[in-house]
């Protein structure tokens, strides 16, 4: 009985890792850790780095468009004004979601937050 429970636990963890914590596209970014995403790698959890500074560090490292995992939530961060103009002119594709606004609006109060489906797009100004 214990053996069966261990197998179920291992398979459940494997399924969660594969379905929620794997890179899904060729966007640059770090591979996420299980349950914590990129919060450990960026220094947000254990080194007191603010999320804004961590995203600026990722921007310097990966360029103007990259993905960042905030726990199990995948964020696509955009730092180019031309890309933001495209997003704003095509609001039917990139609509603001209530869940993203409630979740990330407190953390990124100077950011444009839009989501569609399984990912969230955040634009950080260079202020």
Residue 78 has pLDDT above 60, yes or no: yes
Decide if 68 contacts 29 (C-beta within 8 A).
yes
Q: Where are the domains of the chain?
A: 30-123
Q: Per mean pLDDT, which of 27-31, 73-77, 91-95 is the most reliable?
A: 27-31
8-state DSSP, 26: S
Predicted confidence (pLDDT) per residue in 37-72, tens digit: 888 888 888 888 888 888 888 889 999 889 888 887
5 neighbors 13 (Cβ within 8 angstroms): no
Q: From CA 1, how far away is CA 40, in angstroms rounded?
A: 36
Res 29: pLDDT: 86
Give mean pLDDT, residues 4-24: 78
Band the pLDDT of 118: cuts 50, 70, 90: very low
Across the beta sheet with 112-116, what order do the strands follow? 65-70, 73-78, 119-123, 112-116
| Per-residue pLDDT tens digits for 89-104 | 776 676 555 555 566 6
């Amino acid at each position: 009985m214990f053996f069966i429970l261990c197998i179920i636990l291992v398979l459940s963890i494997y399924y969660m890792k594969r379905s929620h914590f794997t890179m899904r596209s060729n966007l640059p970014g770090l591979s996420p850790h299980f349950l914590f995403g990129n919060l450990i790698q960026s220094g947000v959890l254990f080194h007191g780095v603010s999320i804004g500074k961590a995203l600026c560090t990722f921007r310097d490292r990966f360029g103007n468009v990259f993905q960042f995992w905030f726990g199990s939530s995948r964020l696509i961060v955009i730092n180019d004004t031309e890309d933001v103009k495209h997003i704003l002119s095509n609001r039917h594709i990139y609509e603001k979601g209530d869940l993203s606004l409630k979740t990330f609006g407190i953390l990124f109060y100077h950011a444009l937050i839009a989501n569609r489906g399984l990912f969230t797009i955040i634009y950080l100004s260079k202020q």
